[in-house]
């Protein structure tokens, strides 16, 4: 059974890793003359200047023993160090899917979380670490440098939040792949990245990053898994205001 599952992973990995298999938006051909030049320096500056934004994340994991889909919807307020996040996770271990929902607010170094009606409060000792995890726009641009788009392959166009963007495949350095994949070198069971592709969605007229699409195959021990993480950004400096619910504060005082 393990062998047949491994074969299935091998057969399907190519389509999952290749953006063209999704069939969204027109593909570029070799003769395309579309203006898709990206000024990486301006893109980084634009991302750094954003004070608030809306973020949506969809993460899927396919493995012989488990299938999991997690969706996250949130607002990040960099200026006031506030964030609101709502996530749903559907996990299937072979006996049917189970769904969990979590609502979370972060105010500086204080995190409020509920998944069953009762609120929990946690104070983090290192606020910088908390925000390094929360600020997905900052994490996204960490893979972009001044030369990122010089040899990047144009894949297709796609409309995100009403804006036409161009999808590029970036060449990710080997030393960055493990970080993108979340590989912990200190883990008891070794994890390795077998294949990884990283796409970004850019409005080439304004040099604005609207999203990323990470697709990879990883192995841990004798097992393997296909993981995709799609992250979309919108409502730059026009996102909903974030405020911690009174109930969360009152219940955890």
Residue 22 binned pLDDT confidence (cut-offs 50, 70, 90) = very low
Q: What is the pTM of this model?
A: 0.85
Distance CA(29)–CA(112), nearest Å, equals: 49
How many angstroms separate the most distant Cα atoms in the chain?
A: 63
Contacts of residue 79, Cβ cutoff 8 Å, sequence gap at least 6: 51, 52
Asked if 181 contacts 216 with a C-beta cutoff of 8 angstroms, the reply is: yes
Q: Which three-class secondary structure state does DSSP give residue 178?
A: helix
Ramachandran angles phi, psi of 8, nearest 5° = -60, -45
Query: Lowest mean pLDDT: which of 86-95, 111-120, 146-155, 179-188?
Result: 179-188
Beta bridge mates, 209: 202
Give 31-89 pLDDT, tens digit per residue. 454 556 899 999 999 999 999 999 999 999 999 889 999 999 999 999 999 999 999 99
- N-term to C-term CA, the chain: 52
Tens digit of each residue's pLDDT (9 = 90 or more) over 88-145: 999 999 888 899 999 999 999 999 999 978 999 999 988 888 898 899 999 999 888 7
What is d(CA 180, CA 59) in angstroms, rounded to the nearest whole number?
13
Q: Please name each of the domains of the chain with its CATH number.
A: 2-251 (2.50.20.20)
152 against 186, higher pLDDT: 152
pLDDT in tens, 217-235: 988 777 888 999 999 999 9
The answer to whether 65 and 80 have CB atoms below 8 angstroms apart is no
Q: Is the pLDDT of residue 175 over 80?
A: no
Q: Among 218, 226, 234, 209, which residue's Cα sits nearest to residue 59?
A: 226
> Quick one: what percent of the chain has pLDDT higher than 90?
60
Nearest one of 232, 151, 229 to 196, comparing CA atoms? 229
- How many Å apart are CA 172 and CA 137, to the nearest integer? 17
């Amino acid at each position: 059974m393990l062998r047949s599952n491994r074969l299935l992973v091998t057969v399907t990995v190519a389509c999952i890793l290749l953006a063209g298999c999704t069939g969204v938006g027109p593909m570029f051909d070799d003769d395309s003359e579309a203006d898709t030049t990206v000024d990486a320096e301006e893109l980084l500056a634009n991302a750094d200047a954003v004070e608030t934004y809306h973020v949506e994340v969809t993460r899927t994991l396919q493995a012989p023993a488990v299938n999991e889909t997690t969706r996250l919807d949130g607002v990040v307020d960099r200026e006031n160090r506030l964030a609101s996040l709502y996530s749903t996770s559907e996990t299937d271990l072979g006996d049917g899917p189970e769904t969990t929902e979590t609502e979370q607010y972060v105010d500086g170094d204080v995190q409020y979380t509920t998944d069953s009606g009762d609120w929990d409060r946690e104070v983090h000792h290192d606020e910088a670490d908390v925000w390094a995890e929360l600020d997905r726009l900052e994490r996204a641009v960490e893979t972009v440098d001044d030369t990122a788009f010089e040899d990047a392959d144009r894949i297709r166009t796609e409309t995100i939040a009403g804006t036409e963007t161009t999808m590029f495949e970036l060449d990710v350095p080997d030393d960055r792949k493990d970080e993108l994949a979340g590989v912990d070198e200190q883990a008891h069971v070794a994890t390795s990245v077998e294949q990884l592709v990283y796409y970004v969605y850019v409005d080439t007229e304004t040099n604005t990053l609207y999203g990323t699409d990470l697709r990879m195959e990883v192995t841990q021990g004798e097992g393997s898994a296909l993981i995709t993480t799609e992250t979309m950004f919108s409502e730059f400096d026009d996102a909903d205001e974030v405020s911690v619910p009174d109930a969360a504060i009152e219940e955890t005082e």
